[in-house]
Amino acid sequence: MSDQPKKSNFFEKLATFIVDKRNLIFFLYAIAIIASLITQSWVKVCDDLTQYLPETTETRRGLTLMEDEMKTYGTARIIVSHVTYEIARDLADQIEDLNNISSVDFWDADKSADDTTLPSAANKTYEDYMQGADALITVTFRGENDDQSAKDGLAAVKELLAPYDTYISTDVGYSKSETLNEEMGIILVVAALVIVLVLLLTSRSYAEVPVLLLTFVAAALLNKGTNFIFGEISFVSDSVTVVLQLALAIDYSIILLHRFLEEREHAPDDRTACIIAVSAAIPSISASSLTTISGLAAMMFMQFRIGFDLGLVLIKAILLSMLAVFTLMPGLLMLFSKAMERTRHKNFIPQIDRWGKLVYALRHVGVPVFIVCVVGGFFLSNQCPYVYGDNAVMTVRRNEHQAATDRVEKEFGTQNIMALVVPKGDTASEKAVLKELSGLDEVDYAMGLSNVEAKPGYFLTDKLTPRQFSEMMGLSYEEACILYAAYTADQEDNYGPIVGGIDSYTVSAMDMILFIYQEKEKGYVTLDDEDEREINDAYTQITDAQAQMLGPNYTRMVMNLNLPEEGTDTFAFLKTVHSIVEKYYDADDVYLVGNSTSDYDQSVSFARDNVMISVLSVVFVVLVLVFTFMSVGLPILLILVIQGSIWINFTFPTVLHTNIFFMSYLIVTSIQMGANIDYAIVISTWYSDLKTRMSPREALIKALDLSFPTVLTSGSILSAAGFLIGQITTEPSIVGIGQCLSRGTLISMFLVMFVLPQILVLGDRIVEKTSFQVKLPATPIASQRFSGTTFVNGRVRGRISGFVDAEIHGVVKGDISAIMSSGSYDLPEGSGQPPEAGASPEDTPNTPPAGSVTGKEGDTQ
């Protein structure tokens, strides 16, 4: 034996710096956390999923065009309960007189449906407004959903109706992100309690829990505070990331904790133990995280850009979690090391040797049954009842906004409003389109400027002569001619009618009314009180209609369909509408926009994204596993189990006839593949290591026993987090993520603890024949323990009847507990023993030992 000066590698030098400079790191984290608390308010959150549709879709192009050229005033459907018609009529009149109210729609017993000027009410009956003692009042505000004027108008309506029992269904002032943040606060509190309980059961001392929690809280705050760098994120990413970050990244802190506890058993002091643990954990945790990051990266290739948004935020969350584990947690371990020693408790996790024996005994039954389930799951999951609008998804809980909408739709039916955008200027074509659409059974009403009446029998866009205009407005012919002459003089380069005669000159009713109003305001036209009131009302109606219907280049028509928001019939009818409109307009200039077209576009992108996510998540993870295990066969076996769990997971919606939002499937598929594969890695790593020292049966039993705490800890936390999201959140697009993730994690846990070991035993020959070797630089590994006679040739750091850090060439008789950074241990024939249970599989899931150990059967690791 000869002593040589120890040469530290890069990770050892980095770990030494982190441990020794822990107080500086604490200070930097304190500053970063304070900054994050401030920058959280800088993050812009988008509540509209249609913003993430591909730019080439009809919905996205149509919405962009409408946002640029037109306004969409906010509306509210209001039920006032336990009132008579007379009371409801009076309330409707009072609402119409409020500030910031554009119009109010309610049944007027003094007018027939044919007398109303709005086509939307043309086919309405008394029952459409009154159901028993429930009255439906529809309000249009003078501002868009996010405008303060609309919010003020809604507040005034609520104040007026405060004495009554009301249900107000509106998007005015409603923020999904604010609602979700409140719900996620509840979820985090409950999740924290569950996580503390799980950690207490799986920990070795009570003081471990604050170390893990402080590490996570710091990482979560840093992630929330740095989201502003993306400019804007979706409400999905803003709400669920913190919970998923905890569930996906808690493993990293557990890995380092177990390493530290293992190393301090034979290191001379806590500092040395921490340095060894960190230096070994950095490469192994980084490699282990690649599977999770690969699954998340697959989401970023979705056409529906919500995948890119969520994938980007979650990958940043994973990276920041690793950073906190590598830099902050070592200092916390040093800070709490004495407390961890004082608060040790007995192991609450039982050994599961009996389970391992049962698994081995049923290996010829479990694998065939699993294959049948996977095949069935593949076909059933492809028949999953996907939906593309969140209205078709029911949540366990309903918030106030949803409860009001449910009540309104139950009593007075749903609305499926569609907007049709076409080039402006051709009023004849517009009127023809509206006439054809209004005649279809699937259309409740179709409305545009061309069929809004200025007066009974006269439409706003009708071109009228002076005589026709005088008849419409009740003016004398001479007065009308004077107005027309003034109008023509007001128009530049338009003196022809004055010279050639005004009798045959035509002007749209809308333009003439606006002109009269302007001249009245200038004092050039004097009207009696009744005429002035009519002109003022007509002016308000026209300007509101123009703001919503007319842009610089396009005009908008609105229709309500008597069809559900999505479905085969609805999607087919969208094509019918296009075929009608394209008889009058160029197909490239026609845009049909609404929830139905949004759902249709999402269904088209889902067909591609589904295949893309499934293929890429598998390919990315397989590539990581191939170079992790230096085998082609083993990664395929692991992927088979996890992909099988995904297919089985999504048979439940099919069998139970439960609608599932399509986005939930895409996101859960990526997360389940990227995160749950770690459980399979832990078990397969243990089994591959142990089978070189014992029989396959004993290796399987021992591998399950050693893997159980890791799988239980990580799996239960991820499953609990998903369950809480599914039970507490009221957002349909998110509830499915929680429900499916919780169920899928439980399925994965069972399969990796039951079917995977059986597959590993039966597939040993496949793994061996597909293995290969790649020479890699030596990396730090976990402590090895052997007893008896051992031939040692290489650099050893640890205890051999006393602490040793030296190059050793010779035979050791006694107990060895040491790290082998280079060289090999060689056990004589028949003397091989498995490593003691103190070493954790997550310590080296991706780093094979740098050396060889010969077992009793002569197998070489």
**Each residue of 82-138: pLDDT tens digit?**
999 999 999 999 999 999 998 899 988 766 444 444 455 556 788 889 999 999 999
What DSSP assignment string belongs to 111-127?
S-GGG-S-GGGTT--GG
Pick the CATH number of 58-174 from 3.60.70.12, 3.30.460.80, 1.20.120.610, 3.30.70.920: 3.30.70.920
**Cα 245 from Cα 542, distance rounded (Å):** 52
Q: Is the pLDDT of residue 804 over 60?
A: no
Lowest mean pLDDT: which of 205-219, 305-319, 639-653, 676-690? Answer: 676-690
pLDDT reading at 493 higher than 60: no
pLDDT band, residue 630 (cuts 50/70/90): confident
* Assessment of whether the complete model's pTM goes beyond 0.85: no
> How many angstroms separate the CA atoms of 152 and 96, rounded?
14
CA distance 694 to 717: 33
Tell me phi and psi for residue 845, to 5 degrees.
-70, -25
Which of 90-99, 296-305, 835-844 holds the top average pLDDT? 90-99
Average pLDDT, the chain: 82
Residue 112 vs residues 109, 122, 124, 171, 446: alpha-carbon distances, Å: 7, 9, 10, 31, 19
Q: What is the mean pLDDT of residues 763-772?
A: 80
pLDDT of residue 764: 82
851 confidence band (pLDDT: 50, 70, 90): very low
pLDDT of 730 higher than 70: yes
pLDDT at 157 over 80: yes
Query: Please, which pLDDT band fits residue 2 given cuts at 50, 70 and 90?
Result: very low
pLDDT at 811 over 60: no
Strands of 129-205 (E only): list them: 130-131, 134-144, 165-170
Residue 837 has pLDDT above 80, yes or no: no
The pLDDT of residue 776 is above 60: no
Burial 53-88 (b: 16+ CB within 10 A, else e): bbeebbbbbbbebbeebbbebbbbbbbbeebeeeeb
What was the pLDDT predicted at 500? Answer: 55
> CATH fold of 1-42+178-346, please?
Multidrug efflux transporter AcrB transmembrane fold (1.20.1640)
Using the predicted structure, report yes or no on whether residue 856 has a pLDDT greater than 50. Answer: no
CATH 2.60.120.920 fits 352-411+588-772, yes or no: no
pLDDT in tens, 16-28: 999 999 999 999 9
pLDDT digits (tens, 9 = 90+) for 684-723: 888 888 888 888 899 999 989 888 888 888 888 888 888 9
Q: Binning pLDDT at 50, 70 and 90, where does residue 231 land?
A: confident
Count of CB atoms situated within 10 Å of the CB of 518: 13
| Residue 777 reports pLDDT greater than 90 | no
Higher-confidence position of 819 and 193: 193
pLDDT of residue 818: 54
Instruction: List the chain domain ranges.
Output: 1-42+178-346, 58-174, 352-411+588-772, 425-550, 776-861
At 524-567, the pLDDT tens digits run: 878 787 878 888 888 888 888 888 888 899 999 999 999 999 98
Q: What is the pLDDT of residue 215?
A: 92
Local confidence band at 204 (pLDDT 50, 70, 90 cut-offs): confident
Do 158 and 95 meet the contact criterion of CB atoms below 8 Å apart? no
Tokens 């609990």 sit on residue: 720
DSSP 326: I
Q: Is residue 180 very low, low, confident or very high in pLDDT (cuts 50, 70, 90)? A: confident
Q: What is the mean pLDDT of residues 500-519?
A: 84
**Cβ proximity of 652 and 646 under 8 Å:** no
The CA-to-CA distance between both ends of the chain, in Å, stands at 25
User: How large is the average pLDDT for residues 443-458?
Assistant: 85
Q: What proportion of the chain, given as a percentage, has pLDDT over 90?
A: 33
Neighbour tally for 753: CB within 10 Å: 21
Q: What is the pLDDT of residues 665-687, one digit of tens each?
A: 888 888 888 777 878 888 888 88
Q: Which of 223, 232, 292, 179 is nearest to 733 (CA)?
A: 179
Q: Rounded to whole angstroms, how far apart are CA atoms 737 and 666?
A: 9
* Cβ burial, residue 125 (10 Å; 0-12/13-18/19+): exposed
Q: Which of 239-248, 409-418, 792-801 has the lowest mean pLDDT?
A: 792-801
pLDDT category of residue 267 using cuts at 50, 70 and 90: confident
pLDDT recorded at residue 805: 53
Say whether 352-411+588-772 and 1-42+178-346 share the same fold: yes
**pLDDT for 830 beyond 50:** no
